[in-house]
């Protein structure tokens, strides 16, 4: 007998589960996508013990009849594909038919589904119970329209997989992030995430994505994000013409006027003042599918080049829409990666759209926000950890340091000790009368009860607290949590519009009209305008002006250079000489005249105007060192545009006005006018802020005027 054999279906399903299901969040993802594909308008997710004990997803979608419900647990059984050609234009989130049988092979699954107007005309729903891939029960049941799937005891028959799960709080954080991001991608649908003790996310339908961001994260997060929208027609189709034997004779041939569809981009990007230490705060959706794509991550990084430091990353929420034929989603087991048929077009479109939006918006950095805006590694657009009971609520966020997560303790609820209340307790007759049948709510301190209830039951995410929340807590306590009673769609729309209006007003379009008041320690320019008090860093402001002028002159090959009376000799190490040989041509185009003068020495005969002495030597060493660091990074080619920008930034930095330099009023006015002409007056080429605004509203608030 041969050694090769066909595996049983149960083993094959568990192998597939290893690719599709690696943690509770993976189960939630597959079930959420099925609910969205079924056209559900309301989705409720229930989780217990971080998803280990129970995951229940209920929707009001199209549902399934008895036959379809049984076939759904067979491998590669799907309603979304018919032929191999359908793989070339997938418009649904799921398509392989592997998720349900894979989940059912490693958990105890219960399915309840009912489809109205089924082909069989059945008026009853279907109830199915499966444990470890074996069907235990199938029966009719009276059910509402839609589907409810409960997954209990995940990995109960694969203990080794169960040991790899993180703490319950960590798994719950992953599930919360997933539900939140799909709620952002589908603002027109109702999403609800409930744990064993409280409602984590409650997001009723809204009209726009901006309203959804305000609904879930609140005013402060929305104020740090700027909207972006762009579209471009596709000049050609990604798919080639089908062979003659597959062509439909009735279908007309493609001509030059054929509509190949549109590439559309919408979403939000952060102001330069909001920076992260990793890419975990960049969320990308392609045709409403959450993905991680290196091509688009690189495009976003390029859009922020010379706007934020190269070691920092922005917060971005992007939605790309394109014809299904233009993207291949069948390239990853978990469908989290895609491949574009026109990669260069998509990359350049995303980069240029974000860059153009940054140029047009010119957001101003607030003085108070800048004091606290330090780059962090924690992902943004993550719902705040909220617990219904007092005690610590620091749930570790996904993608955190694995070493920290490995040492995390088990989830514990630590009750808060009540604060002592001075005074004596009254035990006179009749003092407890109100607790009987004649209880009168008006005889109690409703505000005190409201504060106590607020400490015990934090509002669910998706219900931002209002100013009168504590006053109304006692009266509305019986309404329940997560019922959306805190604000209608109109209220969300109005609040969102107010935030967007304030955000659009805080820009740098009025730099040229500012009136300089003087200098602070001969390093910072103080200026006043209609919107408040401005503080401008004179060095980085001049650096931005020179940087853009150098790039403009480099484009037209009109860089001015000055010859040195005596050549300057610069000593380099052998590896630095190799780097210099690679960038020597670009240095010459930027105004340098440098030639080797021995095995480890360079002779500088000419340099750009404004560079001389020690500044010239430091600039050359800086450019060579940065270029050497880039060349050492694996799988990264040196881009000519990046090299050109790096040289221009170094020249500008060493030629700009230094701090501790006195400036007369005319010089300060000239600098502000020149800064107003630049494309990115928000930050210097190295990412430091140029101007900070202490707004008139903040000044009034500081003096208790408002």
Could you tell me the residue ranges of all domains in the chain? 9-198, 206-237+258-406+441-475+483-505, 515-692
Architecture of the domain defined by 206-237+258-406+441-475+483-505: 2-Layer Sandwich (3.30)
Q: Which residue has the higher pLDDT, 22 or 456?
A: 22
Q: Which residue has the higher pLDDT, 461 or 675?
A: 675
pLDDT of residue 364: 83
Of the ranges 40-54, 116-130, 156-170, 370-384, which one carries the lowest mean pLDDT score? 370-384
Q: What is the per-residue DSSP string for 386-449?
A: --SSSS---PPPTT--HHHHHTPPPP---PPPPPP--S-----TTTTGGGSTT--GGGS-HHHH
Least confident of 120-124, 165-169, 239-243, 688-692: 239-243
Q: Which helix (H) or strand (E) covers residue 199, if one does?
A: strand 199-203
Spatial distance between the Cα atoms of 341 and 235, rounded to a whole number of angstroms: 13
Lowest mean pLDDT among 61-70, 454-463, 633-642: 454-463
Q: Kindly state the greatest CA–CA separation across the chain.
A: 104
- Mean pLDDT, range 634-652, rounded to an integer: 75
| Kind and range of the H or E run holding 593 | strand 593-596
Q: What confidence tier does 423 reach under pLDDT thresholds 50, 70, 90?
A: low
Q: Give pLDDT, residue 44.
A: 96
Q: How far apart are CA 38 and CA 34, in angstroms?
A: 6
The residue among 387 and 66 whose pLDDT is bigger is 66
CB atoms within 10 A of CB 439: 10
pLDDT value, residue 673: 94
Question: Does residue 319 sit in helix, strand or coil?
Answer: strand
In this predicted structure, what is the pLDDT of residue 672? 94
Q: How many helices (H) and strands (E) does the chain have?
A: 21, 23
Whether the per-residue pLDDT at 552 is higher than 80: the answer is yes
pLDDT at 228 over 90: yes
- How much is the pLDDT for 596? 87
Name the pLDDT band for 121 (thresholds 50, 70, 90).
low
Over range 197-215, report the average pLDDT: 90
Where helices occur in 117-251 by DSSP H, the ranges are 159-163, 168-185, 209-217, 219-223
Among the four given CATH numbers 3.40.50.300, 1.10.287.110, 3.30.1370.100, 3.10.50.40, the one describing domain 515-692: 3.30.1370.100
- The closest of 347, 283, 278 to 313, measured between CA atoms, is 278
Three-class SS of residue 81?
coil
235-262 mean pLDDT: 64
Question: What count of Cα atoms within 13 Å lies in the side-chain half-sphere of residue 424?
Answer: 3
Mean pLDDT of 302-320: 91
Q: Going by C-beta distance under 8 Å and a sequence separation of 6 or more, which residues neighbour residue 463?
A: 202, 482, 484, 486, 487
DSSP β-bridge partners for residue 113? 126, 147
Residue 572 pLDDT > 90: no
| Among candidate residues 287, 86, 291, the one with its CA nearest the CA of residue 78 | 86
DSSP state of 683: B
DSSP element (H, E) containing 301 = helix 294-303
How far apart, in whole angstroms, are the C-alpha atoms of residue 537 and residue 475?
Answer: 52
Q: What's the rounded mean pLDDT across residues 450-454?
A: 45
Residue 585 CA from chain centroid, whole number: 40
Give the H/E segment covering residue 112.
strand 108-114
Q: Say whether 654 sits in a helix, a strand or coil.
A: helix
Q: Average of pLDDT values for 353-361? A: 92
| CB 69, CB 111: distance < 8 Å | yes
pLDDT at 46: 96
The CA distance from 88 to 85, in Å, is 6
User: Is the model's pTM score more than 0.85?
Assistant: no
- Cβ pair 376, 350 in contact under 8 A: no
Looking at residue 496, what is its pLDDT? 83
Q: Torsions phi, psi of 456, nearest 5?
A: -85, -40
Instruction: Report, as an integer, the average pLDDT of 253-272.
Output: 80
**Confidence grade of residue 86 (pLDDT, cut at 50, 70, 90):** confident
Among the four given CATH numbers 3.40.50.1100, 3.40.190.10, 3.30.565.10, 3.40.30.10, the one describing domain 9-198: 3.30.565.10
Residue 320 reports pLDDT greater than 80: yes
Report residue 332's pLDDT band, with 50, 70 and 90 as the boundaries.
confident
Q: What percentage of the chain exceeds 70 in pLDDT?
A: 77
The more confidently predicted of residues 112 and 585 is: 112
Distance CA 314, CA 380 (A): 10
pLDDT at residue 135, as a whole number = 92
Cβ 649 vs Cβ 498: under 8 Å: no
Q: Element (H or E) spanning 296, and its range?
A: helix 294-303
500 or 142, which is more confident? 142
pLDDT for 19:
67
Q: What is the pLDDT of residues 12-21, one digit of tens each?
A: 766 766 667 8
Asked whether residue 493 carries a pLDDT value surpassing 60, the answer given is: yes
Upper half-sphere CA count for residue 392 (Cβ side, 13 Å)? 9
- Crossing angle of helices 168-185 and 209-217, in 10° steps, is 150
Say if residue 457's pLDDT is above 70: no
Is the pLDDT score of 479 beyond 80? no
pLDDT score at 251: 64
**pLDDT at residue 392 in the model:** 38
Average pLDDT over residues 176-188: 92
* Coil, helix or strand at residue 252: coil
The pLDDT > 90 percentage for the chain reads: 36
Tell me the average pLDDT of the chain. Answer: 80
pLDDT above 90 (res 375):
no
CA atoms within 13 A on the CB side of 458: 17
Highest mean pLDDT among 180-189, 438-447, 610-619, 641-650: 180-189
Assess whether pLDDT exceeds 50 at residue 272: yes
Highest mean pLDDT, choosing among 93-97, 165-169, 446-450: 165-169
pLDDT score of 253: 59
- Which pLDDT does position 355 carry in this prediction? 94
Residue 166 has pLDDT above 90, yes or no: no
Q: Give the whole-angstrom CA distance, residue 44 versus residue 179.
A: 10
pLDDT of residue 535: 94
């Amino acid at each position: 007998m041969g050694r090769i054999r066909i595996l049983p279906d149960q083993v094959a399903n568990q192998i597939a589960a290893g690719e599709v299901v690696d943690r509770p969040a993976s189960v939630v993802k597959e079930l959420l996508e099925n609910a969205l594909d079924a056209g559900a308008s309301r989705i409720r997710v229930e989780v217990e013990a971080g998803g280990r004990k129970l995951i229940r997803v209920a929707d009001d979608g199209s549902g399934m009849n008895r036959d379809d419900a049984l076939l759904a647990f067979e491998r590669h059984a799907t309603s979304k594909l018919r032929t191999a050609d359908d793989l070339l234009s997938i418009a649904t989130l799921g398509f392989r038919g592997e998720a349900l049988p894979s989940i059912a092979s490693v958990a105890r699954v219960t399915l309840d589904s009912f489809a109205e107007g089924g082909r069989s005309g059945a008026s009853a729903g279907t109830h199915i119970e499966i444990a470890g891939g074996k069907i235990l029960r199938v029966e009719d049941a009276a059910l509402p329209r839609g589907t409810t799937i409960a997954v209990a005891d995940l990995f109960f028959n694969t203990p080794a997989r169960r040991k790899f799960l993180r703490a319950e709080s960590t798994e719950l954080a992953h599930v919360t992030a997933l539900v939140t991001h799909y709620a952002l991608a589908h603002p027109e649908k109702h999403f609800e995430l409930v744990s064993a003790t409280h409602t984590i996310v409650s997001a009723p339908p809204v009209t726009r994505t901006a309203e959804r961001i305000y609904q879930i994260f609140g005013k402060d997060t929305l104020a740090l994000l700027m909207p972006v929208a762009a579209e471009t027609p596709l000049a050609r189709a990604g798919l080639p013409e089908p062979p003659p034997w597959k062509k439909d004779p009735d279908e007309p041939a493609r001509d030059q006027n054929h509509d190949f569809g549109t590439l559309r981009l919408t979403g939000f990007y952060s102001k330069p003042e909001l920076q992260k230490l990793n890419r975990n705060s960049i969320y990308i959706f392609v045709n409403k599918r959450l993905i991680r794509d290196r091509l688009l991550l690189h495009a976003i990084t390029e859009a922020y080049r010379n706007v934020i430091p190269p070691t920092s990353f922005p917060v971005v929420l992007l939605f790309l829409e394109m014809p299904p034929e233009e993207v291949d989603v069948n390239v990853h087991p978990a469908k989290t990666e895609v491949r574009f048929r026109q990669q260069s077009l998509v990359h350049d479109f995303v980069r240029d759209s974000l860059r153009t939006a940054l140029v047009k918006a010119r957001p101003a950095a607030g003085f108070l926000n800048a004091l606290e805006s330090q780059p962090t590694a924690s992902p943004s657009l993550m719902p705040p950890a909220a617990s219904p009971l007092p005690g610590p609520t620091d749930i570790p966020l996904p993608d955190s340091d694995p070493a920290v997560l490995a040492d995390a303790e088990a989830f514990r609820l630590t009750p808060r000790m009540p604060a002592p209340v001075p005074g004596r307790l009254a035990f006179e007759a009749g003092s407890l009368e109100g607790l009987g049948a004649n209880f009168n709510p008006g005889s109690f301190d409703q505000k005190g009860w409201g504060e106590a209830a607020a400490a015990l039951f934090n509002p669910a995410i998706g219900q931002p607290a209002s100013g009168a929340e504590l006053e109304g807590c006692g009266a509305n306590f019986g309404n329940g949590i997560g019922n959306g009673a805190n604000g209608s769609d109109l209220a969300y729309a109005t609040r969102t519009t107010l935030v967007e209006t304030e955000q659009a007003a805080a820009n740098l379009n009025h730099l040229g009209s500012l009136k300089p008041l003087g200098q602070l320690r001969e390093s910072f320019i103080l200026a006043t305008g209609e919107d408040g008090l401005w503080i401008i860093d004179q060095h980085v402001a001049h650096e931005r002006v020179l940087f853009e002028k150098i790039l403009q002159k480099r484009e037209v090959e009109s860089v001015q250079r000055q010859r040195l009376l005596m050549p300057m000799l610069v000593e380099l190490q052998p590896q630095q000489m190799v780097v210099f040989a690679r960038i020597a041509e670009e240095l010459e185009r930027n105004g340098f005249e440098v030639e080797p003068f021995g095995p480890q020495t360079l002779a500088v005969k000419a340099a750009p105007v404004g560079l001389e002495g020690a500044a010239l030597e430091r600039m050359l060493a800086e450019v060579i060192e940065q270029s050497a660091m880039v060349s050492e990074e694996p799988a990264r080619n040196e881009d000519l545009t990046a090299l050109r920008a790096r040289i221009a930034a170094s020249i500008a930095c060493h030629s700009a006005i230094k701090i501790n330099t006195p400036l007369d009023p005319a010089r300060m006015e000239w600098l502000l006018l020149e800064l107003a002409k630049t494309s990115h007056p928000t930050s210097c080429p190295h990412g430091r802020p140029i101007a900070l605004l202490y707004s008139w509203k903040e000044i009034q608030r500081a003096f208790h005027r408002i």
